[in-house]
Amino acid sequence: MKLAALVVLVGCGAGAITPSQTTALPAHQTRMIDTTPKERRRMVSPEVYLRAYLTWFGGLVPLDVQNRARPKGLFDAWDDYLSALGLPDYKTDLPRQTQSNTLMLATLGRLGEALCARAAEHDLHGGKTPLDQRVVFAFDLDGADSDETFMDRFDVLHRTFLGYPAKLAPGERVTKFHALWTDVAARHAKAKNPLTADETAWVAVCTALVQHPEAELY
Amino acid sequence: MRSFRVLLLAGLAGFALTARDTRANLAVADYRYFRALSIDLAGRPPTRAELADFERADFDLDAWIESHLTGDAYAERLRRIYLDALRLEIGPSFQYVPNPVMLRRQQITGPDGAPMFVYFRRGQRRVDPARDGDFCLTQDETGQQFPTNAPPTGTAKPIAQAVLDERTVVVKPWWLYADYRETTPTDVVAPEWVKRFPGFVPAPALLMEPDGKTKATSVRVCREEAQTAETGAVYVSGRVAAKKGEPLPGGRLTQPPGDSGFAKTAKGRAVSCLSGTGFSSSVECGCGIGLERCLPNAGPQNEAPAFVMPARTPLGEDMPFEANPQAPAAWIRMWWGEEASKFLDALFIEDRDFREVLTSRATKVNGPLAQFYRYLAGASCCGPGADVGYSQPEPLFDPAAVPEALTPEDTATWLPVADRGPHASGILTMPVFLTKYGSRRARAHVLYNAFLCKDFVADSVKLSPSNDPDLMKRPGCSSCHQTLEPMAAYFTRVQESDWTWLPATVFPMSNPKCANGKGGGLCKQIYDPAFDKLRGAYGSPVHAEQGPAGLANDLIAAPEFAPCVVENVAQSLLGRTLAPEDDAWKLQLVKVFVDGGYRMKSLVRAIVKSPRYRAGNDRR
pLDDT (tens digit, 9 = 90+) per residue, B446-482?
Answer: 999 999 999 998 878 778 889 999 999 998 899 999 9
* Whether pLDDT at B18 is above 60: no
pLDDT at residue B177 above 80? yes
pLDDT at B278 over 50: yes
Q: What percent of chain B has pLDDT above 70?
A: 96
Q: How far is A210 from chain B (nearest CA, A)?
A: 12
Write the single-letter amino acid at B562: A
Question: What stretches of B311-469 adopt beta strand conformation (E)?
Answer: 323-326, 363-365, 415-417
Dist. CA B274–CA B253, nearest whole Å: 28
Alpha carbons A184 and A204: distance in angstroms, whole number = 7
Mean per-residue pLDDT over chain A, rounded: 87
Closest CA to B328 of B385, B287, B286, B277: B287
Give helix then strand counts, H and E, for chain B: 23, 13
* Cα B453 off chain centre by: 25
Q: Could you tell me what percent of chain A has a pLDDT over 90? A: 48
Amino acid A90 reads Y
B593 sits in which H/E element = helix B583-595
Is the pLDDT at B3 greater than 50? The verdict is no
pLDDT given for residue A201 in this prediction: 96
State whether the Cα torsion B487-B492-B495-B496 is positive or negative.
positive
* Closest Cα in chain A, distance from residue B264 (Å): 43
CB within 8 Å of B572: residues ≥ 6 apart: B80, B81, B84
Predicted pLDDT at B243: 80
State the pLDDT confidence band at A2, using cuts at 50, 70 and 90: low
Nearest Cα to B34, choosing from A53, A163, A39?
A: A163
Query: Is A91 in CB contact (< 8 Å) with chain B?
Result: yes
pLDDT (tens digit, 9 = 90+) per residue, B294-331? 999 999 999 899 999 988 888 887 788 888 999 999 99
Neighbouring C-alpha atoms within 13 Å toward the C-beta of B563: 13
Q: What is the ipTM of this complex?
A: 0.89
Q: What is the pLDDT of residue B317?
A: 77
How many C-beta neighbours within 10 Å does residue A212 have? 16
Cα B325 to Cα B543: distance, rounded to the nearest angstrom: 43
Look at residue A21 and tell me whether its pLDDT is greater than 60. Answer: yes
Lowest-confidence region among B223-232, B249-258, B482-491, B609-618: B609-618
Least confident segment among A121-135, A153-167, B410-424, B535-549: A121-135
Confidence at B617, pLDDT banded by 50, 70, 90 = low
Kindly determine whether residue A36 and residue B311, on different chains, have CB atoms separated by under 8 Å. Answer: no
Contact B330, B368 (CB under 8 A): no
Window A:23-62, CB contacts with B under 8 Å = 35-48, 50-52, 55, 61-62
Q: For residue A15, what pLDDT band results from cuts at 50, 70 and 90?
A: low
Q: Domains of chain A: which residue ranges?
A: 46-216
pLDDT tens profile B493-510: 999 999 999 999 999 999
On the question of pLDDT at B263 being above 50, the answer is yes
Q: Which residue of A38, A45, A61 is in closest CB contact with B619?
A: A38
- Judged against a pLDDT cut of 80, whether residue B17 lies above it is answered with no
- Answer whether residue A141 shows pLDDT above 70: yes
Q: Distance from A12 to chain B by nearest Cα, in Å?
A: 51
- Report CB contact under 8 Å: B322, A46: no
| Strand pairing class (B168-171; B219-222) | antiparallel
Cα dihedral B456, B459, B464, B466 sign? negative
SS3 state of residue A80: helix
Using the predicted structure, report yes or no on whether residue B7 has a pLDDT greater than 80: no
| Distance in angstroms (rounded) separating the CA atoms of residues A216 and B453 | 29
User: Looking at residue B225, what is its pLDDT?
Assistant: 98
Over residues A176-203, the pLDDT tens digits come to 999 999 999 999 998 877 899 999 999 9
The Cβ of residue B527 has, within 10 Å, a number of other Cβ atoms equal to: 25
Helical segments of B38-190, H only: 48-55, 61-67, 72-86, 139-142, 161-167
d(CA B77, CA B466): 47
Q: Any CB–CB contact under 8 A between A78 and chain B? A: yes
DSSP string, B280-292: HHBTT----GGGT
Is the pLDDT at B37 greater than 90? The verdict is yes
Give the separation between CA B612 and CA B584, rounded to whole angstroms.
12
> So what's the pLDDT on residue A174?
96
Query: Distance (Å, rounded) from C-alpha A96 to C-alpha B86?
Result: 12
Pair B77, B41: CB distance under 8 Å: yes
In Å, how far are B133, B267, B274, B281 from B100, measured between CA atoms?
Answer: 11, 20, 9, 11
| Per-residue model confidence as pLDDT tens digits over A77-133 | 888 888 899 999 999 999 999 888 999 999 988 889 999 999 999 999 887 889 888
Which letter, b or e, does each residue of B210-222 get, where b requires 16 or more Cβ atoms within 10 Å of its Cβ?
Answer: beeeeebeebbbb
A180 in Cβ contact with A150 (< 8 Å): no
- Min Cα–Cα distance to chain B from A94, Å: 9
Residue of B322, B339, B577, B618 to mutate when probing chain A, most A C-beta within 10 A: B322
- Please state, rounded to an integer, the average pLDDT across all residues of chain B: 93
Nearest to B286 by CA among B381, B171, B384: B171
pLDDT (tens digit per residue) in B552-581: 999 999 999 999 999 999 999 999 999 999
Can you say how many angstroms the Cα of residue A209 is from the centroid of all Cα atoms in its chain?
A: 7
Helix pair A62-69, A46-56: axis angle to 10 deg: 60
Give the pLDDT score at B13.
40
Rounded to an integer, the average pLDDT of A142-167 is: 92
Compute the distance between CA of residue B116 and CA of residue A123 in angstroms, rounded to an integer.
53
> Which of the pair, B534 or A41, is modelled with greater confidence?
B534
Q: Coil, strand or helix: which one is A3?
A: helix
DSSP H helices, B388-540, are 431-436, 440-452, 478-488, 521-526
Residue, of A2 and B523, whose pLDDT is higher = B523
Q: What is the pLDDT, as a whole number, of residue A32?
A: 77
Cβ contact (<8 Å) for B616 and A36?
yes
List pLDDT tens digits, range B46-80: 999 999 999 999 999 999 999 999 999 999 999 99
The 3-state DSSP class for residue B373 equals helix
Note whether B44 contacts A51, CB cutoff 8 Å.
Answer: yes
CA distance B332 to B352: 28
